[in-house]
Structure 1
Amino acid sequence: MSGPNILLTRIDNRLIHGQVGVTWVNHLGANLVVVANDKVSKDVVQQNLMDMVLPDVIQARYFSLEKTIDVIHKASPRQKIFLVVKDVHDALALKEGGVPIDHLNIGNMHYEEGKKQVSSTVSVDDKDIEAFKRLDELGVNLDLRKVPNEKGQNILDLF
């Protein structure tokens, strides 16, 4: 049996919002958005708010990291999955847990104290950089871009 039909995995600390829910979903032709994040998997209010952004024909699932690892391989081939995570550490946990992430889009990692800005939408600290390097070692293509029609850049080139 082949693996799950993951079209793209994206890091976006906002998770599902207009850019993800409309621009990326349409570009990819996804019919399912899976948000993998422990906190959001338990926050029904935030889930309902994110559901409102998605077109009616797009389904969303909100799983903990462990549940994502446990169920992603049971996905139907008809499910065209857009996997969204909050940060690089969630992406690394999924990859190390056996989720077949080959291509990682880095879209949004907000600036906060202790982080350095490496692009207009991405800020990182030393732990983030180490996680990106580990993903690279695991063979993941690291593609920094906000929107699909923007030229991508390997995030490692910015460190």
Structure 2
Amino acid sequence: MIINFARIDDRLIHGQVTTVWVKKANAKRIIICSDEVAHDEIRKTLLKQAAPPGTKVNICEVDKAVKVYFNPVYENETVFYLFVNPTDVLRMVEQNVPIKTLNIGGMAYREGKTQITKAVSVGPEDIEAFRKLNEHGVKLELRVVDSDTPVDIMKKIEGLSSAQ
């Protein structure tokens, strides 16, 4: 499997993803890797309907996504991985899926999270996952839209630590 693009965006497939990021990814298939979403039939149906024409969409649990990655049947398939959170990305990386660069686009604010940009809020589990991904050598670039200048999310996270 050829990973053309990997992105965290908790809205998953929406206007910006379908009009910009799918083109940038230049992949034949979007794979949404999330245990939570894989078990939500309504959300799965809506996400598949939102996909741009000609792009296949699969939604699966993280462990299944890992198995699919290593299945030789798909070795020439180009994919765009979409994630809801960095913990799921880390689970794949720790199982040797070679995600080299991760685009962080949207992580909504919720109770217990700290807003670090207009579009990204992180909680302790997110910070820990980003730190581990960084240790694994994954390039972590915060960029909501393609025209944004990429920002190293680790600088934002370290800024949180020094502010506390």
The structure whose residues are more often helix, as a share, is: 2
Matched residue type, 2:152? N
Q: TM-score, normalised by structure 2?
A: 0.89
Aligned to 1:81: 79
Say how many residue pairs are matched: 155
Q: TM-score by structure 1 length?
A: 0.92
1:11 alignment partner AA: I
Residue 46 (structure 2) aligned to one of 29, 46, 49: 49
What is the aligned partner in structure 2 of residue 154 from structure 1? 152
CA distance in 2, matches of 1:48, 1:93: 25
Shift of 1:43: 2.2
2:54 counterpart SS class: coil
Q: Is the counterpart of residue 123 in structure 1 residue 121 in structure 2?
A: yes
RMSD, aligned α-carbons: 1.2
How far does residue 126 in structure 1 lie from its aligned partner after superposition?
A: 2.1
Task: Give the drift of 1:95.
Answer: 0.7
Unaligned stretches of 5+ in structure 1? none
Give the equivalent residue in structure 2 for 1:11. 8
Structure 2 portions without partners, runs of 5+: 158-164
- Per the alignment, residue 111 of structure 1 pairs with 109
Q: Does 1:24 align with 2:21?
A: yes
Tell me the SS of whatever aligns to 1:40. Answer: helix
Letter in 1 for 2:56: Q
User: Percent sequence identity over matched residues?
Assistant: 35
Per-residue Cα deviation, 1:39-81 (whole angstroms, up to 9, x for no partner): 211223212211222122000011101101111122241x221
Per mean C-alpha deviation after superposition, the further-off stretch among 102-111 and 12-21 is: 12-21
Deviation for aligned residue 1:149: 2.0
Residue from 86, 97, 121 that aligns with 2:95: 97
User: Is 1:72–2:69 an aligned residue pair?
Assistant: yes
Match of 2:160 in 1: none
Aligned to 1:38: 35
Equivalents in 2 of 1:105, 1:17: separation in Å?
A: 16
